[in-house]
Structure 1
Amino acid sequence: MLENTSFAFIANQLNVNCTLPIKVIENHYFQKANYIQIQEIKNHLKKSGYFSDYFQFNLSPYEFVYVPDENTPEKQNLKSQHLEPEEWKYYILAFQGNNSEISNLQQVANLAEIELKIALVFLYHKEVGGYGIVKNPIHSFNCFFEIDRDDSYSHEFINDTHLQEVSLIYQDFKNLDEAKYLYIKQAIKMLEELKHLPYHSKFRILGLFTIIEFLITHKPIDTGDSITRQVTNKMALLSKRFSKQLDYSAFFKDIPESTIWKKLYAYRSCIAHGTQADFQKELSVLKDDSTARKFLKLVVKTLLRHSLSEPQLYTDLKEC
């Protein structure tokens, strides 16, 4: 365990099912925050106004869980249950040296099944025996806002397999020939940059479409070479090579994939041209905005993860 070191605060509300600490990459360990680190985190959250509904009662969302209320079993209500300090859910990435790899780790973590959300970075200054804070105010606000507005009242389960996945993606990311495949790293960075937009912004949806097109399409040559047609055909080809198949049925009814992409691009057109999307009739296949958004996010993550494994395939695919 790294003591008196710099650390990045993981904003996710997590249920961790593995022995800690775990090395994610060299000199970067996923572990529980110690008492001093917790105080640094809490002080900053309180001063910055994050989770104000909790802190006005001297509470933090990382110090309790929601459990079924046994007094109202018929209503399936939940009640908060405070945790003992040793059970608090403040998790960090502790690291030595500067924070140069934290940015890369965040971009890589975006592609993993469980996305670790690095909201704040605390740099330890040995000379003064204290911490300085590195943050992007907009990114931090959006990150905590998303967590604060989550009404599922649940924690994400994470184990050593999830953390090992981050390590493997990181290795592929670092091994990528940037001179040949710069556009792949640019696309990965674009996904991270979408977090700077408000959580419910339609620009996030347009951004997801942009990343898909950036990775696998070229400028249309004629009407038979439209972006919609390219994406539909190329996604059908790529799906056969993914290590984990895209499960369209988990989001939509048993409908042909080509129809789903046609409807998704009709939705994109609604956003781009300022018309109201009709999920009751024309776009009923997509169910609603949230379902379409979640599916597009999964597509982007899957494409980016796969592009790190077979980068030349994507270069070739863009041209055809």
Structure 2
Amino acid sequence: MKLSFGSKNTLAAYVFILPTIIGFVVLVLYPVASSLYHAFTEWSGISAARWIGLENFRYLFEQDPTFWPSLRATVYFVLLSVPSGMVLGLGLAMLLNRRLNGVRLFRTIFYLPVVLPSIAVLTLWKYIYDPLYGLANQALEALHLPTSGWLFSPTMAMPSIVIVGLWGVGGTMIIFLAALQNVPAEIYEAARVDGAGSLRLFFGITLPMMTPILLLQLVLGLSFAFQAFNQVQVLTNGGPETATYLFMFKIYQDAFGNYTQLGLATAEAWILFVIVMIVTAITLKTSSMWVFEDNR
């Protein structure tokens, strides 16, 4: 059966959706189209853009001395931060998913770093990592353990940044905690009657039932990790050498550094977009092999 609307109703519908359409065109469609165009231009942001075709991409892949090191540093950061964040978040959620006195207080304490201003937190960690006066080395000295150069060491700089990210794992913990509380208690009771132990309950029930949330957290974690910027900007400025020269920091440097190259930076942004899309597509495509679908 077809529904017909009068001209006044149709006009009113267009009027109501017009702000959304205008907002989408002005704030989403036009910027995306403009950035795609400028990726193929030589553009400083002030002078007129000059079309140069694939020259930006050719320069990045063949001549730019920081392009491949920044990609390697970014992949290293992703491989360190995403799995460790998910494991720690799940571990905390398991510990706090118990009916104990004061458990709500501990949930709040672990979640608190998430709502603190990131720049202030990173500045605090910069002082903690100070090789001479920082709290990290003082604690190691008190325990009679070897100290570290932390952010000034090419081998320890990236792990140090990852540790800062783990301090704010409360957001992941809360989502995993909600997923744990959504697992039916009857399943655990039936498994215990059959003699299942703690490990079997975790790997046979808890983990499979949480796989949709694990997939969500994995996709979000990969996306955020590839776009990490604040940590490098505040803590290391890309150093030492190129140990923490993440790709988003390179985009920022090319766009707003000593030599403004917005056309080149836009090309880099599109490369990053393609990388994130490919990684996300692979993750979603392979998720059918390990994500448990609850069809209750």
Question: What TM-score, normalized to structure 1?
Answer: 0.23
Larger CA Rg, structure 1 vs 2: 2
Higher RCO (C-alpha under 8 Å, 6+ residues apart): 2
The structure in which a higher percent of residues are strand is 1
Higher helix share: 2
- Using the size of structure 2 for normalisation, the TM-score is 0.24
